[in-house]
Amino acid sequence: MVGIDRRLLQNVDWPLLGATVGLVILSASTLASLHVGRAGGSVAVRQLAWFGIGLVALVIVASIDYRRLVRLAPLIYLAGLGALVTVFLVGRTVSGARRWVFVGPVSVQPSELFKICFVLMMAWLLASRWAQPVNRTTLVLAAPVAAVPMILILKQPDLGTALLLGPVLIALLVAAGMPLRTLGGLVLAGLAAAPLAWLVLKDYQRERILVFLDPVRDPLGSAYNVIQAKIAIGSGQLLGKGVAGATQSRLAFLPERHTDFIFAVFAETWGFVGCLVLLACYALVLLRGFDIAASTREPVGRLVALGVTALVATQVLVNVGMVTGLLPVVGIPLPFMSYGGSSMVVSMTALGLLLSVRMRQFQ
């Protein structure tokens, strides 16, 4: 089952893997420069260890035929839902959010792992016989499958991950052939419901949106992160301050500087030129992903490839957009860069699926 054909190996996407390794190296060196908390430089080492674990996940996933996985998607999806419920039963609360579950010595974030389950499930659903032809009926089928986990994740609360599922779903619907008019109606309805959503949001989430609309609204409170991140990025200027000079980051002005705001640290240290290199790596990964999706004519493979690509793309765009002040602050990690085991393993698994599709494209 796991045996790999030599022909399959020939189709491994080396540029994609190369760009990923480049991102992880940038991540580890940025983390090493931070001296975060008690763990000190070991955060970088642990990030590399997670990359190693992620690599194993990638090889396993890539060597399995994605069609087998998609056939199991309903089971995987239910398991994922189970994990999300587990968070409420035995979860650990960190700064007001119940997102983590302890598995032995490591804490796992089920909402991170669920992203993959979601992509597989949607690919299975949209390619299934009941969803054909893709139109309003398909929407009725897909709505509960998407809504249940989104509500569970929102309740943790983890707004970032919940919102992430939206663009991924839309991308899959577009690729599956949903009439654009129907889709437009859906988006309009979503916008119309936005005031309702306002009522559901937690106070701090509303505050973040207000701060995004008006940054000087509260420079001491929630706007602090945004202002400090902008100062960090801006003061990096064209060529950056180097590791020793990056005072914003090193002196802990920046909150969450090894996780969600790591891009600001990188931007301060390496400047505009460094940012271009970093974004080029992401562009390479994402465009390869879209290319694989476009060139795969097998429908399930295309949906899986597009789904994981959309997943990574949304995270990159939302995270960098947030840190540079283009979007409101939402807690979404930057794939491959932000410190975090769950995020790293999930991102690597996503790449594994992409490779699995790519390697079996021409079978």
Partner 1 sequence: MSSRLGYLGGPGMPGRPDPGRRRVLAMAGVVTVALLVIVCQLWYLQVLEGGRFQEASDKNRIRIRPIAAPRGILFDRNGLPLVDNRPAFTLSLIPRELERDPAQRAATLGRLASLLQIPFAELQDAVARVSPDSILPVRVRRGLTMDDVVRVEEWKLELPGVIVEVEPQRAYPNSRFAAHLLGFVREANDEQLKQGRYRRGDMVGQSGLERLLDEFLRGKDGGERIEVDAMGRQMRMIQSTEPHPGAQVVTTVDRRIQEAAEKAMEGHAGAVVVMDPRNGDVLAMVSTPAFEIDRFTGTIDREAWLRLVQHPEHPMLNRTIQSQYAPGSVFKIVVAAAGLQEGSLTPTDRTDCAGDFRLGDWTFKDWKEGGHGSVDLLEAIRHSCNVFFYEKGLKIGGSVIARYATAFGFGSPTQIDLPGERRGLIPQPRLRRDRRVGGGWHAGETVNMSIGQGKVLVTPMQVARFMSAVANGGVLWKPRLVQRIERRDKGVVWSDGGSVTGHVELSPMVWAFLRHSLWSVVNDNGTGAGARIPGLDIAGKTGTAQMIAKSRASKGQDHAWFAAFAPVREPEAVIVVLVERGGKGGQVAAPIARKILNAIFMEKVASVELGG
Q: How many degrees, rounded to 5, is the angle at CA 152 between CA 151 and CA 155? A: 85
Nearer to partner 1 by C-beta: 111 or 249?
A: 249
CB 47 within 8 A of CB 339: yes
**Closest C-alpha to 345, from 70, 47, 62:** 47
Nearer to partner 1 by C-beta: 42 or 132?
A: 132
Q: How far is the CB of 331 from partner 1 (least distance, A)?
A: 17
The residues, ordered by sequence, that sit 6+ positions from 238 with a Cβ below 8 Å of its Cβ are: 271, 272, 273
Q: Which of residues 191-220 bind partner 1 (CB under 8 A)?
A: 219-220
Sort strands 106-108 and 92-94 into parallel, antiparallel or unpaired. unpaired
Q: How far is the CB of 271 from partner 1 (least distance, A)?
A: 6
**CA separation, residue 294 to residues 118, 135, 248, 297, 357 (Å):** 21, 21, 42, 8, 11
Instruction: Show the binding pattern over residues 300-319: x = contacts partner 1 (CB under 8 A), - = does not.
Output: --xx--x---x--x---x--
Q: How far is the CB of 88 from partner 1 (least distance, A)?
A: 25
Count of residues near partner 1 by CB under 8 A: 58
CA dihedral 37, 39, 41, 42 (to 10 degrees): -150
Q: How far is the CB of 30 from partner 1 (least distance, A)?
A: 16
Of 232, 258, 348, 349, the one binding partner 1 (CB under 8 A) is 232
Q: How far is the CB of 308 from partner 1 (least distance, A)?
A: 13
Nearer to partner 1 by C-beta: 113 or 164?
A: 164
Q: Which of residues 112-171 bind partner 1 (CB under 8 A)?
A: 127, 129, 132-134, 171
- Which residue type, as a one-letter code, is found at position 137? T
Q: How far is the CB of 254 from partner 1 (least distance, A)?
A: 11
Nearer to partner 1 by C-beta: 9 or 174?
A: 174
Name the one residue in this structure whose structure tokens are 């992203």.
Answer: 115
Stretch that binds partner 1, among 99-107, 202-210, 286-294, 344-352 (CB under 8 A): 286-294
Classify 218 as helix, strand or coil. coil
Q: Which of residues 87-116 bind partner 1 (CB under 8 A)?
A: none
d(CA 91, CA 79): 16
- Which residue type, as a one-letter code, is found at position 5? D
Stretch that binds partner 1, among 21-29, 103-111, 153-161, 280-288 (CB under 8 A): 280-288
**CA separation, residue 112 to residues 62, 278, 341 (Å):** 19, 23, 10
Provide the CB-side half-sphere exposure for 223 (13 A, CA): 12
Of 208, 250, 257, 358, the one binding partner 1 (CB under 8 A) is 250
Supply φ then ψ for residue 41, to 5 degrees: -65, -10
Chain centroid to Cα 139, Å, comes to 24
Q: How far is the CB of 66 from partner 1 (least distance, A)?
A: 14
Q: Which of residues 318-347 bind partner 1 (CB under 8 A)?
A: 320-321, 324-326
Q: How far is the CB of 246 from partner 1 (least distance, A)?
A: 9
Chain centroid to Cα 294, Å, comes to 21
- Our finding on whether 291 is near partner 1 (CB under 8 A) is yes
Positions that interact with partner 1 (CB under 8 A):
127, 129, 132-134, 171, 174-177, 219-220, 224, 228, 230-238, 247-248, 250-253, 267, 271-272, 275-276, 279, 282-283, 286-287, 290-291, 293-295, 297-299, 302-303, 306, 310, 313, 317, 320-321, 324-326
